Amino acid sequence: MDLAKNINWDAVAFFERLASRNKLAKAEGFTFCRVSGLEGFEEALHSMQTASAFIAVSDISQGYMEMNTTPHTRRVKTVFLAMRHAIDDMGARQECMDIMRELFRQFMSVLIQEKTRVEEEHIYLDPRISFQEIDRYFLSGCACAFFQIATDVYTDLRYNGEEWEI
């Protein structure tokens, strides 16, 4: 298989590196983990009772392939943030949300540099990155948010007879 046909940006490794180097994430005790979607995120929170804050990157992605004059594949990766707080303490929840908003801003300050770097490899990060705060009823005693990053990579759709049986 020609790996050049399967260009990819490793979002999990990128955010794991950010989590390990960011002063705010370290000061607030954020633990990095890999999850498989929202269900995996909930499992991670329940299994890590001793941790108080999480950065979780989903190892699965949504996406599509566009078959036009410049065929490309779009992949969307999700990054979850969560912080535990006293149940029914809306002031503590607000503090957690403020910290996560600032952490998101700091991550974006590095991601803008990464965007320039990966474009040299023909990987294009969508400049619109949404930050969604999850309703307070999602998990009691835990402020949660997520953001998604979309990447577009050229996809070689030229027919290759060697890939097919006659």
Query: Which CATH code for domain 3-157?
Result: 3.30.70
- Residue bearing the bigger pLDDT, 130 or 7: 130
Asked if residue 1 has pLDDT above 60, the reply is: no
Domain positions in the chain: 3-157
Backbone dihedral angles phi then psi of residue 21, each to the nearest 5 degrees: -110, -10
Q: What is the pTM of this model?
A: 0.83
Residues 6+ apart with CB under 8 A from 111: 125, 129, 149
Instruction: Please give the mean pLDDT across all residues of the chain.
Output: 85
Could you report the per-residue pLDDT of 87-103, keeping only the tens digit for each? 888 899 999 999 999 99
Per-residue confidence at 51, pLDDT binned at 50, 70, 90?
confident
Per-residue confidence at 36, pLDDT binned at 50, 70, 90?
confident
Could you report the per-residue pLDDT of 66-89, keeping only the tens digit for each? 887 788 888 889 999 999 898 888
Per-residue confidence at 2, pLDDT binned at 50, 70, 90?
very low
- Residue bearing the bigger pLDDT, 163 or 37: 163
Asked if residue 164 has pLDDT above 90, the reply is: yes
